[in-house]
Structure 1
Amino acid sequence: MDIRIGITNSPREINLESSQSSAEVEGIVIAALAADSKFFRLVDQKGNVYVVPVATFGYLEIGSEESRRVGFVA
């Protein structure tokens, strides 16, 4: 699934593909915000770790879990 994270005062977004479910990603972010944590951490499909500071966290966009089609559709 495609995940897009917005950072305040930054024109760029963090984009990653994750094998985690949308509910799991949402739960990680909500738990970090509710607990006043300094950061939260997500892992992409390749095993790369993204540590996002909560103080500059702007938004989270979670794409669909449906795989993309390749080729032409009639």
Structure 2
Amino acid sequence: MSVEVKIGVENSPRELSLTSKDGADKVYKSVAAALEAGDGVLELTDDKGTRVLVPTAKIVYVEVGNPEGRKVGFGAA
């Protein structure tokens, strides 16, 4: 099941958003490992195979959630 990942980056007005085919647990582990490494880089791959690299020193927050959980528009209930 795919998950939506939103990353807040320091000094950036917009968050970085991607959908990952990896499960939430794997994304959490990747984020935790990158943050523990200190001056490392968080590397995630989106559902289209694009790799995203974010320096951990610039990460403000990371949200991991279900992309189907948020409905917008006429189909929203």
The interval holding the TM-score normalised by the smaller chain is 0.7 to 0.9
Q: Compute the TM-score of the two structures, normalised by the length of structure 1.
A: 0.83
Residue 31, structure 1, aligned to residue 33, structure 2: yes
Letter in 1 for 2:8: G
The runs of 5 or more residues in structure 1 that have no matched partner are: none
Letter in 2 for 1:47: G
- 1:33 Cα deviation (Å)? 0.9
Identity %: 38
SS in 1 for 2:48: coil
Where does structure 1 differ by over 3 angstroms across 4 or more consecutive aligned residues? 65-69, 71-74
Distance 2:26 2:67 in 1: 12
SS in 2 for 1:11: coil
Number of equivalenced pairs: 73
Q: Compute the TM-score of the two structures, normalised by the length of structure 2.
A: 0.80
Q: 1:61 to 1:73 in 2, by over 3 A?
A: closer
The runs of 5 or more residues in structure 2 that have no matched partner are: none
Q: 1:46 to 1:56 in 2, by over 3 A?
A: same
- 1:38 Cα deviation (Å)? 2.1
Q: 1:36 to 1:8 in 2, by over 3 A?
A: same
